[in-house]
Amino acid sequence: MSGSAWSTAGDHRFDVNLSILFTELPLPARPAAAAAAGFEAVELWWPWADSPTPRQSELDALGEAVQDAGVRLTGLNFYAGRLPGPDRGALSLPGEESERFRANVEVAAGFAGALGCTALNALYGNRVDGVDPAEQDALALENLVLAARAADRIGAVLLVEALNGPESPRYPLVSAPAAVGVVDEVNAATGLDNARFLMDLYHLAVNGEDLPAVIDRYAAITGHVQIADNPGRGAPGTGSLPLEALLGRLRGAGYDGWVGLEYKPGGRPSAEAFGWLPR
């Protein structure tokens, strides 16, 4: 795929992930930068990697920055440790990290709800040496149920994401079926039917999955989509993924939600990383 503008870009609603783009700016300045680049919506990993419960003044400052910029917060991660990095989630980790996740649930949901956010992402967490995977899975379901109920209280969906095995070898959800299986378990446990699959086309591509087949099978249970090209996790057009065609297929399968731009700007200012989008 070339780097030229997509002819069908207007068929999609794109938001920009402020945890991987515009990181050359302080966090409170990023929403306005996204707005200046033409975006109406943003998403975030949990911004305070070392604190699941930051000071209220920090929460307020970021919330005001989003509101002042006139953008919408469409997605937010629950606390997941330090990203990008080896942590890859906290909710299935016995001990302190799981407790930190639980402490974060109401804080994150309250922050998201105040900004009208409709999707909360809960990264599953790595396998831990010496701990039975079944024990981790039971803990994960318990915490995902807690998160799903918090999301429901603010009218949001809970997202469960598959990552890729090469970059996250200890993360157990490295396929679409694995992540959707957890979605089904959470919905069965809560009866709320608000758990959904986060379809990240970059991660699935790195895993070698048949992306058209994944789209056809799971579009109906998908609550959010994220994209980056592969290889390299750069902007569309920097790799070989037919992202325009894949998003067109998603649209044809009935997905009309937000598409998050979760790619690296590639050694240039983030504002220059959107040339593939028509203006």
Q: Catalytic positions, please? A: 161, 262
Residue 25: closest CA among 42, 5, 9, 12: 42
Cα dihedral 261, 264, 268, 270 sign: positive
Strand partners of residue 200? 226
Residue 261: closest CA among 1, 2, 37, 7: 37
CA distances from 214 to 189, 198, 221, 258 (A): 25, 12, 11, 18
Report the alpha-carbon distance of residue 137 to residue 142 in Å, rounded. 9
Cα dihedral 87, 240, 178, 46 sign: positive
Report the alpha-carbon distance of residue 203 to residue 31 in Å, rounded. 25
In the chain, where do the E strands start and end?
Answer: 13-17, 41-44, 72-77, 119-121, 157-161, 195-200, 222-227, 258-261
Report the alpha-carbon distance of residue 188 to residue 194 in Å, rounded. 10
How many Cβ atoms sit within 10 Å of the Cβ of residue 60? 12
Peptide bond into 169 cis (omega under 30): no
